[in-house]
Structure formats: structure tokens, C-alpha cells
Amino acid sequence: MQVEQSATAPVMEQPVVDTEGMTEVVPGDALLPALLPDIGSGMISDDAEAARLEATRSEEVGGLLAAIRRLENIVEEETTALATGQKVDFDDFSARKSRSMLEFVRLMRARMHLGGETEITEEIQRLREKLERNRSLLEMHYDAVREVATIIVRAIKEAESDGTYTGRAARDGK
């Protein structure tokens, strides 16, 4: 069996023994493992290591910003199409937004420590504003579709009925 080394190493805790009131150890008692931090791994050894960590952080920030901007572009594209009355493929936009949002959420979860970065916070705020405008236009579009559907349903019902089974109040519009 191989043992992997990591930042923590399992160690068996040893009980503190009170020699004055010594009691016998019960055969069923077991020592519990404890995870102790590897003290040497937390220290930066030199400037090169610090520069490497900064470069990694910069790459993480760049990747997260790129994901946010991709999502922003998709939302902006759909919003523009809705606002200008272009034909909108809602299935396509929905799938693209879902994939992009999934990527964004996964990156944010993996890099929660980047949540305090000013640039990321600003990008997320811009994305939130674009999403709100998109939601507003989608809601307006949905309301219009629902209203047209209601008019069509009413027209179909009126066309199918000859008035035989409706009361006089219904024919008079009351």
C-alpha cells in the first residue's frame, strides 16, 4: 500500500495522562487520528515562488474575467436582438447562456478566493446590469406573446361557437 504525501499528515494523538488519578485503560479505547498541518508547506521560500504564485493568481483572474465576458456577450447579443425586433432563437440563446453560466459558476466555486478582486467585482456588477435589462426585455416579450395567445384562443372559441349554448349575457358581451 502506498501512502500519498500532502499538506497534512495523519498523526495519532496521544492522550494526556494524569499520573495522580491514574486509571486503567479500557481495552476498547482507541487512539483517534488527527490531521496536523505540514508547517513547511505554507511558507514562501523566495521571491521566485512569490512571483509564480502571483502569475498563477493573475491567470486565474484572467480566466474568470474571460468567462464573465463570454456570458456578458451572449446576454448582450440576445438583448440587442429582442430590442431591435430581430428573429430570436430562444432555444439557442438559452443553451448558450446555460453553458456559459455553468462555466462561470464552476470557475467561481473553484476560485472563491478571487471574489474580492476589484476587477472581478466590477465585471460581475456589469453582468448583473445586463442580465437585468435582458430579463426585462424577455418579460415584456413573454407578456406580449401571452396577450396574443389569449386573443387567438378567444377568437377560436368565438369562431367555433354558433351561440346556441351560450346565454344572452355572453352574446351581449356581459
Rounded to an integer, what distance in angstroms lies between the CA atom of residue 18 and that of residue 3?
A: 34
Q: How far is CA 111 from CA 49, 106, 107, in A?
A: 20, 9, 6
pLDDT of residue 125: 92
pLDDT of residue 135: 95
DSSP conformational letter for 27: T
Q: pLDDT 10s per residue in the chain (174 long)? A: 444 444 444 444 444 545 454 455 555 555 544 554 555 555 546 777 777 777 777 788 888 899 999 999 999 999 999 999 899 899 999 999 999 999 988 888 877 666 667 888 899 899 999 999 999 999 999 999 999 999 999 988 888 876 666 655 555 555
Find, among 88, 98, 93, 74, the residue nearest to 145 by Cα: 88
pLDDT of residue 160: 82
Which helix or strand (DSSP H or E) is residue 19 part of? Answer: none
137 Cβ neighbours under 8 A, 6+ residues apart = 79, 82, 83
The rounded Cα 84 to chain-centroid distance in angstroms is: 29
Residue 28 zone, left/alpha/beta (φ > 0; ψ -120 to 50; rest): alpha
pLDDT of residue 174: 53
pTM check: above 0.85: no
Cα separation of the two ends of the chain: 85
- Which residue's C-alpha cell is 384562443? 153
